[in-house]
Amino acid sequence: MQRRDLQHAKCWVVKIGSSLLTNAGQGLDDRAVAALASGVASLRADGCDVVLVSSGSIAEGLSRLGLAERPRALHQLQAAAAVGQMGLVQAYETAFEGHGIRTAQILLTHDDLADRRRYLNARGTLRELLSLGVLPVVNENDTVTTDEIRFGDNDTLGALVANLIDADVLALLTDQAGLYDSDPRQNPAAQLIQSGRAGDPALHALAGPSGTAVGSGGMATKILAAEKAARSGAATLIVGGDQPNVLDRCRQGEPLGTLLSPLEEPLLARKRWLASQLNVRGELRVDDGAVRVLTGAGSSLLAVGVVAVSGEFQRGDLVRVADANGVEVGRGLCNYSATEAGQIAGKSSKDIEAVLGFVREPELVHRDNLVLALPATL
């Protein structure tokens, strides 16, 4: 992706760090929240879907609890996050209400995105909110996670959300202007790297740790996040979030920050990622008509074209799609369990509710979650 392409990007994930949202750990900065809301509102007014991934709950909680330093104990971090989340949500709701934008809080853990059923549920919820014109505000569900709250976790979460909704751009708003060829805090002559490729090993040597007391991330986590975002074809923009109108200026192609582009187009990258990450749990045998529309028209797999179901799989598991002779046609994420798929096999999409009593999706496998059986991808 080139700078000029940003103006055509229709889906953005914007992640903002706690150092930009807080007054050096003294609670939320209302002016910073208002500036962020204005920038996101500008993107939306330009026809973009936006998901906001926000840090700041722990920093706000520390301020409300009167704690000067970030604690090490997990239960203390969880308590601070629980207290701070209240203020963070209130601040966003108030700021975006001034732009006529409704917000929704989404709390996720990495387990939500690793489990295929929960992955599809989260994906469906986010897509529905976007279709309703609602701005999802996503944060790590720090209060219930059983793992230690990890270094730079919300950078990673931003990348996983970009994978989840097939975003075009992951914008990581940080307290640095971008990625430099050396540490600008120690070398005044450090040069900003304006562009590069996500996954370039040379970038890791340039990234340093977090420089703030309240933040948990650094440039190293942003480089890793860019690599994860690139798996589904998203470009990553690492840029100083305290610059005036930064999102709008970046969208217009102004050379701010560092733009790290993926090696592949979004849909191809996503499908390659899906195919390489998951184990096949079952098989759907389809008729000749389904084979033709899958391979010729690039359509989704509907239940009406399925003649047999085998294996033990749940909603969101990867299944093999094969023709009547068992020759593999492709692989994809199934929207129904093996039992449910068996019940609706051969049925029209309009009959799914009558058979099951509910409809999750009209397709058994959506085309965006289907990889055709080519040697390069399977």
Confidence of residue 261 (pLDDT cuts 50, 70, 90): very high
Does the pLDDT of residue 323 top 90, yes or no?
yes
- pLDDT tens digits, 83-117: 989 999 999 999 999 999 999 999 987 777 767 67
Cα 343 from Cα 103, distance rounded (Å): 38
Does the pLDDT of residue 292 top 80, yes or no?
yes
Q: What is the pLDDT of residue 22?
A: 84
Q: What is the pLDDT of residue 17?
A: 86
Cα 260 from Cα 301, distance rounded (Å): 34
Confidence of residue 268 (pLDDT cuts 50, 70, 90): low
Cα 375 from Cα 183, distance rounded (Å): 43
Q: What is the pLDDT of residue 378?
A: 38
- pLDDT tens digits, 1-49: 888 889 999 999 999 988 899 876 678 999 999 999 999 999 999 999 9
| Amino acid making up residue 304 | V
Mean pLDDT of 137-159: 71
CA atoms within 13 A on the CB side of 68: 0
Q: What is the pLDDT of residue 209?
A: 53
Strands (E), the chain: 11-16, 49-54, 103-108, 135-140, 169-174, 195-197, 235-240, 258-261, 280-286, 306-311, 318-322, 328-333, 370-372
Q: What is the DSSP string of 165-194?
A: HT-SEEEEEESSSS-BSS-TTT-TT--B--
Mean pLDDT of 190-218: 70
Higher pLDDT pick, 146 / 124: 124
Confidence of residue 189 (pLDDT cuts 50, 70, 90): confident
The domains of the chain, with CATH numbers, are 3-266 (3.40.1160.10), 278-372 (2.30.130.10)
Edge-first strand listing for the sheet containing 235-240: 103-108, 135-140, 49-54, 11-16, 169-174, 235-240, 258-261, 195-197
Q: What is the pLDDT of residue 356?
A: 96
Match 């330093």 to its residue by tokens: 69
Mean pLDDT of 170-190: 87
Q: What is the pLDDT of residue 303?
A: 96
Q: Which residues pair with 328 in a beta bridge?
A: 322
pTM for the model: 0.75
- The residue among 140, 227, 238 whose CA lies nearest residue 195 is 238
Q: Sort strands 11-16 and 370-372 into parallel, antiparallel or unpaired.
A: unpaired
Cα 50 from Cα 29, distance rounded (Å): 22
Cα 187 from Cα 259, distance rounded (Å): 22
Angstrom CA distances, 187 to 183, 199, 217, stand at 6, 25, 21
- pLDDT tens digits, 277-289: 557 889 999 999 9
Angstrom CA distances, 93 to 89, 158, 247, stand at 6, 20, 20
Cα 199 from Cα 281, distance rounded (Å): 30
Question: Please, are residues 53 and 140 in contact by the beta-carbon 8 Å criterion?
Answer: no
Mean pLDDT of 329-333: 89
- The residue among 175, 54, 154 whose CA lies nearest residue 103 is 54
CA 363 distance to own-chain centroid: 23
Mean pLDDT of 358-371: 90
Confidence of residue 352 (pLDDT cuts 50, 70, 90): very high
Confidence of residue 213 (pLDDT cuts 50, 70, 90): very low
Does the pLDDT of residue 339 top 60, yes or no?
yes
